[in-house]
Amino acid sequence: MLGFCSNVLLRASVRRYRAVHIPACSRASLHSSAIVLQQALHNVTIGQPLHHTHPHLIGPEEVLSGIPLTEVKRRRANFLRVLRDYAAMQAGKQLQHVVIIPSANKKYMSHKIPYVFRQNTDFLYLSGCQEPDSVLVLEIGGGDGDAGRSTLFVRPKDRHAEMWDGPRTGVQLAPDVYGVEDAQDVGTLKEYLTRCSFAHPNAVFWYDEQASDLANVSKVVRDVTRGQTRSPHELIQRLRVIKSDSECALMRKTCELASHAINRTMAESFPGVSEHRVFATVDYHTRLGGANFLAYLPVVAGGPNATIIHYINNNQIVHDGELILLDAGCEYHGYTSDITRTWPVDGTFREPHRVLYEVLLQVQRELLACLQCAGGETLDQLFDTMCTKIGKYLQEIKLIPAGLSGQELSRAAYKFCPHHVSHYLGMDVHDTPLISRNMLLQPGMVCTVEPGIYIPKDKTDVPAEFRGVGLRIEDDVLIRPGTEIEILSKDCAKDLHAIEALVGSGNKS
C-alpha cells in the first residue's frame, strides 16, 4: 500500500537510497567501461533463471537445473550427426538439411489468464530455452567436415511487454546463454528460411506442423517449403530415449520426490477421506519437496472407481473397507515420475483384496526381475509376460478357468488388465512415443512397470466379492549396464505389511 510521505522525508530517503545503491564512481561520473560491463552482467535478467539470479536452482555451468550448457550443445551436435547418417542412408547424396523446431506458446484458460507454461519438450531438449514463441533452426550440409550450425530465433526485448510478462533474453544475449552460433528476432524467420531455400534449392526441410503450437511459424514454413517437410521427432526421440548421467540424476530426484509424497499421502489417509483430499495431499507434498507441479492429472480412485483406468473425476468419498488407487507423478525441472500404489484406506487388507494384492505384487516383482534377463527384453515382450503371469495366478485363485492355456490364457488375462505394462519415461510421462516398444532395452533407458487387475462391477463370471475392485502397482526403472536395473521409485512403500503399517500413521499425533 502507498503511504503518506512529506517532501522533507522524501528528499532524505532519496539521498539515503542514492548513497547506498548508486556506486561512488557512478556518482562522480568516473565509471570505466569495465565497471559498466560488470554492472550490466550483474543486472542482467533473462527469460529464465540463471546461476547469478537463481543460484539455489542453477549451477555455475548450467543452462537448466541439473543440465550443463555443454550437454545441450552436445545434444545438438549428436542430433546433427544422427541426421547426417540418416540422410546419407536415405538420399544417397549430399544435401543441405534445415531442421525447424518450434517452442510452445502460452495457452490461456480464459481472457488473459494463462495456464502454467510448459515448454515443447524437443525444443527444450535441444535449446535449453524456456521462452515461448521461439524457434530453433539447425542446419547441416552433406560434407563430412560440416559440423552444422544452430540459430535461435527469439522474441526481441520489449520494455512494455517485459513489464507485464517478465524479462526476455533477447537477441543479443541468446548466443551466450544458450551456446548457439547465432540468434535472430523471431520476426525475421521467414526472410531467413527464404534465403536458405534460394541458396540451397534442393534443401530438405524438417518440421512437424501437427506437433507445433506456433501457427504463424507453420504458415511461414508452409509458404517457404510448399509443405514439403519431414518430421524430425523420431530422430530426436532416438536421442532422448537414452538418458545421460545428468538426466538420470534428475529422474532419480523426481521419482524420489513422488515416492515420498505418495508415502505421506498413504500415511495421511483415513476412512471417509475424499479423493479430492488425496489429490491435494500428493500435490502438496510433491511441491513441498521441490517439484514444479504434478506431471499429470492424478488418478485418485476409491473402491469401484479404480476399475475405470483413466478415472480423473476424483470427487468421491473412500469408505472403510475400500481400496484406494493413486496414480501420480511430478515434474522436477523438466523430468517426470509416474508411480501407482493401491492401499486399503483403513490400513488393513481384507479378503479378497489381500489375495489380489499379493498376486499383483508377485507379478510386478517377477516382471522387474525379467528386466534383468541377460540378452535383454523389450517392453512388448514384458507385456506378453505380464499376460501369461496374470493368467497363471488368476487361474490359481479360480478367477480364470483352469482349462485355458497359451494364447487363450493370455487373452483371458488381458480382460483383467487391458493396458500395456510399460512405457518409456523421461521429460514427458509417455516419453518418446515414436520409439518402438519392440526395441531391446538399453542402458540409460527409463521405463515403467505397471501391471494391474481390474474387475468391473458387472463382470458376472467371477465371484461377487471380487467385483468392483481395481489395483495397479507401478514403479519407474532405470536400465543400467550389464544385467542391473535401478528401481527409481524404490522408496515408495509396496510390500503389503509396509503399507499396512504406513496407512493412517500420519494422522495419529
Q: Which residues bind Mn ion (CB under 5 A)?
A: 338, 448
- Residue 106's nearest CA partner among 164, 41, 182 is 164
Per-residue cell: 259: 515416492
Q: What are phi and psi of 448, to 5 degrees?
A: -95, 160
Least separation in angstroms between CB 423 and Mn ion: 6
Q: Which of 256/338 has CB closer to Mn ion?
A: 338
Shortest Å distance, C-beta 482 to Mn ion: 26
Element (H, E) at 230: strand 229-230
CA–CA distances in Å: residue 498 to residues 301, 349, 355, 425 = 21, 12, 16, 26
Would you state the cell numbers that stand for residue 246, as one nine-digit string? 545428468
Q: Which is nearer to Mn ion, 394 or 425 (CB)?
A: 425
Closer CB to Mn ion, 65 or 448, in the complex: 448
**Minimum separation from the CB atom of position 134 to Mn ion (A):** 30
DSSP 439: S
Closer CB to Mn ion, 153 or 335, in the complex: 335
- By C-beta, is 340 or 385 nearer to Mn ion? 340
Minimum CB distance to Mn ion, residue 421 (Å) = 10
C-beta of 338: minimal distance to Mn ion in Å? 4
Closer residue to Mn ion, CB minimum distance, 196 or 382: 382
- Rounded distance between C-alpha atoms, residue 320 and residue 235, angstroms: 51
Give, in degrees to the nearest 5, the angle at Cα 420 between 480 and 499: 70
* Minimum CB distance to Mn ion, residue 310 (Å): 11
Nearer to Mn ion, 137 or 477 (CB): 477
Q: Which of 258, 380, 430 is nearest to 330 (CA)?
A: 258
- Shortest spacing between CB 148 and Mn ion, in angstroms: 35
Select 64 or 360, whichever has its Cβ closest to Mn ion.
Answer: 360
Q: What three-state secondary structure class fits 456?
A: coil
Shortest Cβ 335–Mn ion spacing (Å): 15
Give the number of residues written for the chain.
509
Q: Which three cell numbers stand for residue 142?
A: 552433406
As measured in angstroms, the least distance from the Cβ of 447 to Mn ion is: 9
d(CA 251, CA 249): 5
CB of 419 to Mn ion, least distance (A): 9
**CB nearest Mn ion: which residue?**
338
Residue placing its CB nearer to Mn ion in the complex, 76 or 243: 243
Which one, 283 or 476, has the nearer CB to Mn ion? 476
472-504 burial, b at 16+ Cβ within 10 Å, e below that, comes to: bbbbbbbbeeeeebebbbebbbbeeeebbebbb
Task: Indicate the residue among 237 and 448 with the shorter CB distance to Mn ion.
Answer: 448
**Shortest approach of Mn ion to residue 467 CB, angstroms?**
25
Do 137 and 123 touch, CB atoms closer than 8 A?
no
The distance of closest approach from Cβ of residue 339 to Mn ion in the complex, given in angstroms and rounded to an integer, is: 8
- C-alpha cell at position 35: 565497471
3-state SS, residue 150? strand
Task: Look at the block and give the residue holding cell 568516473.
Answer: 30
Omega cis (within 30) before 352: yes
Nearer to Mn ion, 71 or 431 (CB): 431
What cell was used for 211? 506437433
| Nearer Cβ to Mn ion (268/338) | 338
CA distance 110 to 474: 36
Extended strands (E) in 319-408: 323-328, 330-332, 335-336, 339-344
Contact status, residue 51 vs residue 58, Cβ threshold 8 Å: yes
**3-state secondary structure (DSSP) of residue 362:** helix
CB of 96 to Mn ion, least distance (A): 40
Q: How many alpha carbons fall within 13 Å on the CB side of residue 405? A: 1
- Alpha-carbon distance of 179 to 74, in angstroms, equals 10
Residues whose CB is less than 8 angstroms from the CB of residue 237 and which lie 6 or more positions away in sequence, other chains included: 122, 432, 433, 434, 435
Residue 315: phi, psi to the nearest 5? -135, 25
